[in-house]
Amino acid sequence: MKQYLLAVAGALGAVGREMLRALEERNFPIRELRLLDVGENVGKEVLFRGKTVTVEESRPEAFEGVDIALFAVGDGVSRMLAPEAVKRGCLVIDNSSAWRMDEGTPLVVPEVNPEALRHHHGIIANPNCSTIIAMVPLKPLYDAVGIKRIIASTYQAVSGAGIAGIGELKEQTLQVLNQEAIAPQVFAHQIAFNLIPHIDFFEENAYTHEEMKMFREGRKILSDPELMVNCTCVRVPVFRSHSESITIETEKPITPDEARAILAKAPGVKVVDDPAEKLYPMPADTSDQDLIFVGRIREDISSDKPGLTFWCCGDQIRKGAAVNAVQIAEKMVEMELI
């Protein structure tokens, strides 16, 4: 099998470290690994497959000779460095939102739309974490009976805001229990023992940018510009793994049992749906793994049109970010596109 010179930009961040873990776990064919990060991290060492790799500075010249680069950096850095990497013959798989809605950039969930990988200009975008978690179970239902409308509410863990978000929840939990004053830094309000219906900035239509990502990205991934999506995103005091309540209006009728049978065979999905035994997806069970758990599958009784409601959970750092990027690279190799 061909071996690749692979770089990870933002290698020491939360997502970058998970990318390294996934590359090692999944035995991606790497001839040489190049780790890139900000200046303050240059010279630090990381153990990968039993060997020490020294971190280099993220700069255009660092991509010379690189076949594939996984980007775990912010939008601004990606906008600056990704084109430089492409100029040097590198395929960039980017986890930021910088390129997601770019017309010439495929937005890919490998279980959902791998065919989009055939049409790129050097950059492939990872969707938003909550979009990935929703699309994995939605696609097999979309293929089976069609979906006209999606109403989603997301319950997003603090790790979606990075290491700082995790630290703020830990600190505030102790402050609340000790009856100490709280001064939020990462989130707009107290997150410990609270819910915040506000992630990212508010757009002119009163929806947050995070909510509109589901709308825009869902349409692009499914190649369905007529798909109707309404989303509410909520930050919850959970350390890891996002949860989502999703209601769909389908073009053809489908029963909950039929949906369970379809999802049980779907790639990337695990059906956990036995309310009598108190079995349903929960963040605590879905953290630190790569499947999207789906349960509470039931008929939508709010409408006379065909539809279903279900609940799903997935680890947004792994499948919602790092692992999805690695899977894109794997799919490119499998499809002989690199």
The residues annotated with a catalytic role in the active site are 129, 242
The CA-to-CA distance between both ends of the chain, in Å, stands at 12
Token pair, residue 236, equals 């919850």
Nearest to 332 by CA among 30, 17, 112, 91: 91
Token pair, residue 139, equals 């696609």
- The span from the CA of 169 to the CA of 40, in Å, is 26
Token pair, residue 106, equals 């495929």
Residues with Cβ within 8 Å of 150's Cβ and at least 6 positions away in sequence, in order, are: 134, 138, 214, 218, 227, 228, 229, 230, 231, 246, 247, 248, 249
> Hey, what amino acid is at 314?
G
CB 253 within 8 A of CB 306: yes
DSSP one-letter string for 192-250: TT--B---S-B-TTS-BHHHHHHHHHHHHHHT-TT-EEEEEEEE-S-SS-EEEEEEEEE
CB 248 within 8 A of CB 138: yes
- The span from the CA of 91 to the CA of 65, in Å, is 11
- The span from the CA of 191 to the CA of 236, in Å, is 7
CB 289 within 8 A of CB 168: no
DSSP alpha helices (H): ranges in the chain?
Answer: 14-25, 75-87, 129-145, 163-177, 209-222, 256-264, 283-286, 323-334
